[in-house]
Structure 1
């Protein structure tokens, strides 16, 4: 549900109108509330104990003997469906609490549907349901209340201290926006002159006491010193010019005269003064509208009026969808509509003023933020290809053109400024220049742990941002490959930035690191596994002096450790592998010149 920060019909008079207080200390005499709310000029104790000795009701706990201390009871009835809240306004030095009951039976209150009890240590001026009308995040507020027609409520307002200057009640919520005249059911008030009236000081209020069989009307005014007859006022209607308590005596033929009273209170109407236009960069920087409040208020006190800002006149008039005071402009030109509202009565407002927010567009930079260049003597041009003559350009390297040519790797930052009067709007974009060289494989080693395990290490002439791949397998970041299958493989190293590649062919076989030709039928011969994966493989065995000792072919049983029938001594021996490669060429297997040991 959308929350509206609209507050309806606030009455907040703590001084001269204290004598007009409408307060009932007992639930059974609860003061009825319609769309015009009463003003209380202070509470003084309580009547009977409406909680029959109970020690707690919702959040309100027993004080000195009873739940109620200085209490006031009110009742109201819902006329429409919607969202309802209320604000209880009071002196910031005082501490007020409330409990709201969904019932019209004082003998069966049940648990309150909303309840709030705090010590007001933060000096708030409101407590209630919904949202604080001053816009602050106030913990002394409960959640909005969803209401339906016909529901009746009893509201107890309580003050634990004997020192209080009274309070006002101000209704709020979207129900009063959608149904301003019927949100509350006014049939709850049985009074010829109707409920109390709160009006703006530029409004005309007319009290109507018209009675069918009336012979005469006598009007009285209590402006603080008691009721006094108003000379010359004998009509059924009375136009009101000042705040006060009004009484009418309706003279009837049978002597059954009627007397009716009501309160009329005027709240000051604000004036919104002209505001200066604002200019800001469209870079996400906020404009502080709090600083605009003083312009709108002029000499008016921010304690009496609040200022809100809106995107349309309709929103400003309704007080709906207020913009954040930290406003971030998103358009080149935007009209802001200003509403100045009386805190005493939110129906007293002025929405006549506007001002413009001029947004300065930032330069658009679209060049690449990473550039990779190959070559031994690289050079590259970076920056904005199409400059704008209205902007100024400056690089972190000192150049003042939109394009620069660089011959060194690094990060280069371009600041582009759009100057409008005293406002400078700056866009910054950096480009990282990386100079790459193609990878060069300097060596490959193949280490055999045993006849089934191997480790292939690829070494490069220079380090770089490279990836390593064996055959068509998934590339990896490391130049180490474990346990490759026997046979011919292609090792490829690529520059990840597209700056070339290098490849080598290797052959992987399996052989034992030593053998023991001692006739025990265990490890008596030395042979190489995996030769069947090659075409025409030949293993040639040498001693340390390079003398040819033996050759092993694909189907050979292996070498027994002898030469021309003579047993050779314990020592290290070397071997080479030749085979026919995929091009049909007889070739030596690269990176496979290895040795093994003969032990007896």
Structure 2
């Protein structure tokens, strides 16, 4: 016999602990190349915290370096570059003001902004030391002639080693201003690549809207800028369009005009821009970017399927509303991708749902599996001394009748009552016993009487 119970887990049971992902400014990293110096300016603390401050200071070379008051993020800028071929790359970051104190960290390959933000991805190179020259970077300091060497906390090394890159790899550079006056005013710097600069892919700049962005519903807006294109301010007109399903069909061919377009959560889609130039060289420039907002886990219901009321065959399936990738754990166990759980014990259990993209995790959600122990041992040791159908209190008008193998009624049970293995004050012998459970269930708005029969074992 197969009985199914659906338990709706309401908001009384559900709490989303937090959005675990700090969406960093690196999601708007500017694609760059090595054929010319890059003039940058860092303005303010950045739109969003790049890192979880409780985690990032404990990892790698972002441990505040030699200065106990040094900050992880202040006036940050993010860049990205892609390798065209194998080689070794360095760069110089030059301070062009007296008050700027530039630090950097470089991440990659095979990483993304979410893993950078939560500390999963460690910097390959970085300098969070107090610089005594106007330069910092990878390779050789052009001012002092000092060659870069491996990070050692407290060494005050101005430069780190060159970075070996391979064709197709993408790297992120964080440039951070440890501004000595912390006034938040914009300050300029110059970024110049060194080493095998021809190994960098200059077509990467054509992807000026940036790399695809994965975020969470409720994240801050994403501002897309046409001025980041290779033609710079040579802009006569701009048209934005969008394919919300990313299925190759444009849903709105005239989404907006203007040099900037702001994407707000939860408007997932592939966004396109077409720029017509003033000079006509080239006539038009186009780019696109996929922005995907994942939804935090919202458990709509838990469907519990109990097969033959055998404990080792109890199973539950979890249904979650949302457009993300989730994983599930019950009773404090390991997370799994599969929504189906087998061998769920009868009685009270707990479920946790986690968004694999870092968009949130639920607290423990209690749920009940209606079932019965396959055996009990009424020997007074405090373990398995009584027997009843667990979860019976959730059924309507439930009654349980216990019989011996000859069909003699030994006990009638209701919710909260257990059988201690006796009849008329005498211990019943070790054997299999049968039970019949009668209850009511609503089907299509009509209350229908139900009956279940099965057996269990008394052991002494």
Q: TM-score with structure 1 length normalisation? A: 0.27
Q: Which has the higher contact order (CA 8 A, sep 6+)?
A: 2
Work out which of the two has the higher radius of gyration on C-alpha atoms and give 1 or 2: 1
